[in-house]
Amino acid sequence: MKKIGLVIFPGFQALDLSVLTPFELANSLAPKPVYELAILSETGGMVSTTMGVSVDSKAFGPDAADTLLIGGSTSIPTASPGLLKKLRAVAPRTRRIGSVCTGAFILAETGLLDGRQATTHWYAARDFQMQFPAVKVMEDRIYTTDEGIWTSAGMTACIDMALAMLSDDLGSEMSRAIARKMVVYHQRPGGQSQFSALLELEPRSDRIRNVFNFIKRNLRSELSVEQLADVAHLSPRQFTRIFQTETGQSPARAVERIRVESARILIESGGHTIERVAEHTGFDDTERMRRAFRRILGQPPQSFKPIRSNGKMAA
DNA sequence: GATCACATCCGCCATG
DNA sequence: ATCATGGCGGATGTGA
């Protein structure tokens, strides 16, 4: 039996309990039960949710779980020193350790995410990156996995992560069957960027908003900092500065994101070759586009093609 | 995969 | 005095 432990804390998001559901269903679909599920907390006992209702839990020790998952909240959680200590003690003895939603903040506080890929709820991604600069935030991913350390994005993304874990443990057939039973995608198309909060963040001033519009309408031109500064009627230096404070990202970065975003949408809609998409979005070169995809989305353009037999998900 | 040229970013400082 | 601005240069990242 493999132990799956979900660590919760006062004020956790009840929806995150559903990360356990795929494992529960695996038990009923497999010939004999495979997983032992546990809800854990620092001291055990009743733990309140954001919903108001409470959930019972057990205290946990260093051998708590094969797979230890940390729940999230609707706000940014902080862990008590005691909980952090326990987590650090358990981590080396688990096969997988991971987080759900903003649980990534707690996981990151243990230091386990330093130098690793991780994701969290898109709404908190920017704060997360500022608070933990050593973590490679993949804000566009539904979930990430990096050497036994897993993180999932907001809310229901934890189900996608759990399905991927099941696919590793029991094979993709089983994982697929469970997805069907839960009435969710087995491999959900696209990233979180369908919400694209970072790009929708409306700049406050007209100058910068104009620049955004200019970029969107002129994807195929060069879009250098110099050129954009010109559009904004500012010097390159002042332009980068204002752009940065209003959008939270640098101009070149934003251009790249918008290009990748548009390209991804084109690819997902189908009917265009990768070359055509690269031309149309101003990448020109498919290799350059591929690298930008890997940088921002973590996956190459190919993986966003409409699903035929098996579109591959995060590796 | 290594290397080189170039763009970008950002701290610092002078200016208005 | 404070604040916005813009030039300079070095560290870093990216394309070829």
* Neighbour count for residue A193 (Cβ, 10 Å): 20
Taking only the tens place, the pLDDT of each residue in A49-99 is 999 899 999 999 888 899 999 999 999 999 999 999 999 999 999 999 999
Q: Are strands A149-152 and A143-146 parallel, antiparallel or unpaired?
A: antiparallel
Alpha-carbon gap, residue A161 to A157, rounded angstroms: 7
Please state whether strand C lies within 7 Å of residue A65 at its CB atom.
Answer: no
On the 0-12 / 13-18 / 19+ scale of CB atoms within 10 A, A257 is: buried
CA of A231, C1' of B12: distance in angstroms: 26
Confidence of residue A315 (pLDDT cuts 50, 70, 90): very low
Identity of the residue numbered A270: G
Alpha-carbon gap, residue A214 to A218, rounded angstroms: 6
pTM: 0.68
What is the mean predicted confidence (pLDDT) over A102-109? 95
A283 nearest nt, CA–C1': C15
Within A 240-259, residues with CB less than 7 Å from strand C: 241-242
Q: Which nucleotides of B are covered by protein (CB under 7 A)?
A: 7-12
Within A 228-267, residues with CB less than 7 Å from strand B: 237, 240, 244, 250-253
CA of A131, C1' of B2: distance in angstroms: 35
A252 nearest nt, CA–C1': B8
CA of A245, C1' of C12: distance in angstroms: 20
Sign of CA dihedral A163, A164, A170, A174: positive
**Cβ atoms of residues A35 and A27 within 8 Å:** yes
